[in-house]
């Protein structure tokens, strides 16, 4: 007798073969959709379901959960789409912030002692700085020879009289000289002169100008602490400088140079009494131009201090340092340069000088003079043996005078967007600050001298320069977002919105690359096993069920 229940039961298909016929019983009917898209969907659907069930991303597993109804799965699909869009929007905003505002300047220390930085370099440039008696009696013979002609001597005296208070931005003061065509045409007769040597010879000496000096309240020899130095304001007396070879050598050998001070207030810095005999002063130009700059800076802006006054200059340092991590940001974004970034197209500096924004501006001024006049005036700018330009001769001052309007105005490239300039002629200088920048903010206060303090009839001027406070604020420029911080923020966003991690991303990539490839490969290579023929003995007869079953299906 034949018992169908005793036949082998169908089992789960091998190799993930879902659907179709397997074993002895048909487990799934053939779908009605015979299109190519339908076949692909049936082919990949089991793999996608397997990924959804095993995914570590929250929410995806609910899409394949057989316990949930269709509308519940649809709700989870909407939630997953909404959280994904939210994660993308937050990441885009964070990435835009990373790209646009990559650095920021914050306060690092509000109580940094002032002895941590050098006292500023002080330049004193008298407006009436020439020894007129020496200029009119003996200077021409000293440089042009004892037998100098009267015409040449007169030209010598009138030229240096007109250029007695030289400054690149004030060449219009020589108008009276160049309006005389005879003097201007004969100026080439002085081209053999070394202008630096002439100015050093005819300028007042230290002992002719300084009466008394105090440093940190203690009397010092003025001629020991001041030295002659050329600037864009001509030859000046400079205190606490690192420009000359002598001062640079001292800075290497003496740990306390450049000078510093730990005190603040009046009388704790540099206190100078200037007295110049009126018999040596020509009428018209009086007062002292004061220049406050960094010790390794060539020149800076000047401020006129009137004569017979007691002027107090209060200084507040502003110190900014940039971290090394900001090097990863382009110079156009951070707007500063490190000392070793000499290959940058924005690097412009005086040869042999430390990079400061002031030195960059002086180099920019020098390049404009070289471009317009094909020479560099030695009394305004430094030079060395490696320079490939010529020094300006007295006759070249005619070119400086003709371009005086250009040299009197310095503009920034972005200035035209904010300031209306009535003149087209100007020097365009786009100088980045140093990534370790020191700036001195100063406040001038001027009062008439007290008669009991000094003899005002001798033309005395007192200048007291000191720090306003014993502490100053140090700023630091740091990276607002680094790539590591951006990656960490991105991980937090993904974890917040999707509950995923970096491994979830690798999992997704793996499932849709290597895993998908292996799935397709196995489906193509592994064939379905042939149905087994089972023969069951029933007494004297042998029955092969597959045949009976096959025949029953074909009826």
Euclidean distance between CA atoms 11 and 283, whole angstroms: 119
Q: Which two tokens stand for residue 242?
A: 């690192």
pLDDT digits (tens, 9 = 90+) for 103-134: 888 999 999 999 999 999 999 998 888 888 88
pLDDT at 507: 77
pLDDT of residue 542: 54
Please give the pLDDT value at position 139.
Answer: 92
pLDDT in the model for residue 312: 95
Question: So what's the pLDDT on residue 548?
Answer: 45
Of the segments 9-13, 377-381, 447-451, which one has the largest average pLDDT value? 377-381
Rounded Cα distance between 76 and 61, Å, is 10
Q: Whole-angstrom Cα distance, residue 4 to residue 545?
A: 8
> In the chain, what's the furthest Cα-to-Cα distance?
155
At 192, list the tokens: 């053999």
* Confidence check: pLDDT of 223 > 80: yes
Q: Please provide residue 423's backbone torsions phi and psi, each rounded to the nearest 5 degrees.
A: -120, 140
**Interatomic CA distance for residues 381 and 202, integer angstroms:** 19
Range in 86-90, 139-143, 371-375 with the lowest mean pLDDT: 86-90
Q: Measure the CA–CA gap between 241 and 230, rounded to whole angstroms.
A: 12
Q: State mean pLDDT over 252-277.
A: 92
What is the Cα–Cα distance from 395 to 459, expressed in whole angstroms?
35
Q: Which residue has the higher pLDDT, 489 or 9?
A: 489
CA distance 74 to 51: 18
193 and 140 in contact (C-beta within 8 Å)?
no
**HSE of 255, CA atoms in CB hemisphere, 13 A:** 1
DSSP letter string, 75-119: HHHHHHHHHHHHHHHHHHHHHHHHHH--EEEEEEEEEEEGGGSPP
Cα distance between residue 555 and residue 542, in whole Å: 23
Q: How far apart are CA 493 and CA 501, in angstroms?
A: 10
- CA nearest neighbour of 313 among 268, 358, 257, 259: 268
Tell me, rounded to whole angstroms, the distance of Cα 157 from its chain centroid: 48
Residue pair 229/83 in contact by the 8 Å Cβ criterion:
no
Cα gap 399→183, rounded to integer Å: 15
The closest alpha carbon to 334, from 462, 477, 217, 140, belongs to 477
The pair of structure tokens assigned to 537 is 């003995």
Is residue 358 within 8 A of residue 297, CB to CB? The reply is yes
Is 435:334 a contact under the CB 8 Å cutoff?
yes
Q: Under DSSP, is residue 317 helix (H, G, I), strand (E, B) or coil? A: strand
pLDDT at 456: 45
| Environment class of 130 (CB within 10 Å of its CB; exposed 0-12, middle 13-18, buried 19+) | buried
- The residues, any chain, with a CB within 8 Å of residue 148's CB and separated by 6 or more, are 140, 141, 156
Looking at residue 543, its pLDDT comes to: 56
The pLDDT assigned to 539 comes to: 55
Single out the residue of 317, 388, 383 nearest to residue 353, CA to CA.
383
Residue spans of beta strands (DSSP E) within 183-284: 210-215, 218-220, 226-231, 234-239, 270-275
Distance in angstroms (rounded) separating the CA atoms of residues 125 and 320? 29
Q: For residue 152, what pLDDT is reported? A: 93
Strand order in the sheet with 302-305: 226-231, 234-239, 121-126, 288-293, 302-305
User: In the predicted model, is pLDDT for residue 157 greater than 70?
Assistant: yes
Please write the tens of the pLDDT for every residue from 386-410.
788 899 999 999 999 999 999 988 9
448-464 as b/e, with b when 16 or more CB fall inside 10 Å? ebeeeebebeebbbbbb
Dihedral sign, Cα of residue 158, residue 162, residue 163, residue 168: negative
Query: What are 333's two structure tokens?
Result: 């974004």
Encode pLDDT of 203-216 as tens digits.
888 888 899 999 99
Q: CB 441: neighbour CB atoms within 10 A?
A: 12
Q: Which pLDDT belongs to residue 22? A: 38
Give me the half-sphere count of Cα atoms (radius 13 Å) on the Cβ side of residue 460. 18
Give the percent of the chain with pLDDT over 70. 85
Distance, CA of 291 to chain centre: 26
Lowest mean pLDDT among 45-54, 224-233, 240-249, 454-463: 454-463
- Measure the CA–CA gap between 552 and 333, rounded to whole angstroms: 83
Beta strand 309-322 with 471-479: parallel, antiparallel or unpaired?
A: parallel
SS3 assignment for 414-475: CHHHCCCCCCCCCEECCCCEECEEEEEEEEEEEEECCCCCCCHHHCEEEEEEEECCCEEEEE
pLDDT given for residue 442 in this prediction: 93
pLDDT, position 403 = 93
* Model confidence at 144: pLDDT above 60: yes
Residue 528 has pLDDT above 60, yes or no: no
Residue 87 pLDDT class (50, 70, 90 cuts): confident
Top-confidence residue, 25 or 217: 217
pLDDT average, residue stretch 153-165: 91
pLDDT, residue 555, reads 43
- Tell me how far apart the alpha carbons of residues 478 and 106 are, in angstroms, rounded to a whole number: 8
pLDDT digits (tens, 9 = 90+) for 476-517: 998 877 777 777 777 787 777 777 777 777 777 877 788 777
Closest to 404 (Cα-Cα) out of 426, 386, 430: 426
């Amino acid at each position: 007798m034949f018992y169908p229940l005793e036949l082998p039961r169908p089992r789960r298909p091998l190799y993930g073969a879902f659907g179709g016929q397997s074993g002895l019983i048909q487990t799934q009917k053939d779908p009605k959709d015979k299109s190519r898209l339908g076949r692909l969907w049936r082919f990949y659907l089991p793999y996608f379901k397997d990924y959804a069930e095993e995914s570590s991303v929250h929410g995806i597993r609910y899409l394949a959960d057989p316990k949930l109804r269709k509308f519940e799965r649809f709700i989870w699909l909407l939630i997953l789409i909404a959280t994904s869009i939210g994660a993308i929007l937050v990441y885009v905003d964070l990435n835009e912030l990373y790209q646009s505002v990559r650095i920021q300047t914050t306060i690092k220390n509000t109580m940094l002692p002032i002895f941590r930085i050098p006292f500023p370099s002080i330049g004193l440039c008298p407006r009436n700085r020439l020894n007129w008696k020496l200029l009119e009696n003996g200077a021409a013979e000293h440089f042009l020879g004892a037998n100098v002609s009267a015409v040449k001597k007169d030209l010598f005296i009138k030229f240096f009289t007109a250029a007695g208070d030289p400054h690149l931005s004030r060449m219009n003061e020589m108008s009276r000289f160049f309006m005389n065509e005879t003097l201007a045409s004969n100026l080439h007769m002085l081209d053999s002169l070394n202008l630096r040597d002439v100015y050093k010879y005819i300028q007042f000496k230290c002992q002719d100008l300084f009466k008394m000096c105090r440093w940190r309240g203690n009397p010092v020899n003025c001629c020991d602490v001041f030295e002659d130095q050329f600037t864009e304001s001509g030859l000046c007396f400079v205190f606490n400088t690192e420009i000359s070879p002598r001062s640079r050598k001292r800075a290497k050998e003496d740990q306390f140079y450049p000078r510093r001070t730990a005190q603040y207030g009046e009388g704790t810095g540099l206190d100078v009494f200037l007295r110049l005999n009126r018999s040596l002063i020509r009428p018209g130009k009086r007062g002292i131009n004061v220049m406050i700059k960094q010790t390794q800076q060539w020149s800076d802006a000047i401020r006129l201090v009137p004569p017979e006054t007691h002027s107090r200059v209060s200084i507040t340092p502003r110190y900014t340092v940039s971290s090394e991590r900001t090097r990863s940001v382009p110079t156009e974004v951070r707007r500063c340069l490190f000392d070793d970034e000499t290959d940058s197209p924005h690097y412009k500096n005086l040869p042999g000088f430390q990079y400061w924004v002031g030195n960059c501006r002086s180099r920019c001024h020098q390049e404009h003079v070289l471009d317009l006049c094909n020479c560099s005036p030695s009394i305004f700018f430094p030079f060395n043996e490696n320079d490939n330009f010529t020094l300006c001769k007295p006759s070249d001052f005619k070119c400086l005078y003709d371009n005086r309007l250009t040299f009197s105005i310095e503009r920034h490239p972005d200035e035209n967007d904010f300031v209306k300039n009535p003149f087209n002629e100007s020097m365009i200088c786009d100088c980045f600050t140093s990534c370790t920048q020191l700036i001195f903010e100063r406040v001038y206060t001027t009062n008439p001298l007290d008669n009991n303090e000094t003899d005002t009839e001798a033309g005395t001027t007192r200048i007291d320069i000191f720090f306003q406070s014993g502490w100053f604020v140090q700023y630091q420029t740091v990276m607002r977002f680094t790539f590591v911080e951006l990656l960490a923020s991105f991980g937090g966003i993904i974890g917040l919105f999707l509950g995923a991690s970096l491994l979830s991303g690798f999992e997704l990539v793996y499932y849709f690359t290597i895993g998908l490839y292996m799935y397709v490969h196995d489906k193509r290579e592994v064939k379905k096993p042939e149905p087994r023929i089972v023969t069951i003995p029933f007494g004297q007869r042998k029955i092969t069920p597959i045949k009976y079953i096959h025949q029953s299906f074909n009826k």
